Amino acid sequence: MPRNLRLFLRTAAFLFAVLFTTGTIAQYLFLRSKLNGESESYLRNGAQELRGQIAFADMWDLRGYRRWAGGPAHYLVIVKNGTLVDT
């Protein structure tokens, strides 16, 4: 094989590897940011629903909360002073 052809093939293989790696990293970062955004949105919406079911005004009203079947599977309800209400 001629020396110029061998050099060309090595350069092409190296450039392909660099482009492939760059594309893979860019795709990973893009998908990770989208998945993090979706997870954050899901958790915020679940927390808002849970907060709405507790309905705290002047006193605790947990009737709607006790009958509520939706929301996340695992959660902690903590008041501002750190008191754990429910897990």
| 19-42 confidence digits (pLDDT tens) | 999 999 999 999 999 999 998 888
Q: What is the pTM of this model?
A: 0.56
End-to-end CA distance of the chain: 71
Question: Would you put residue 42 in left (φ > 0), alpha (ψ -120 to 50) or beta?
Answer: alpha
Q: Which residues contact 78 (CB under 8 A, 6 or more apart)?
A: 84, 85
Average pLDDT over all residues of the chain: 80
| Amino acid 67: pLDDT | 66
Over residues 58-80, mean pLDDT: 65
With bands split at pLDDT 50, 70 and 90, how would you rate the model's confidence at 46?
confident
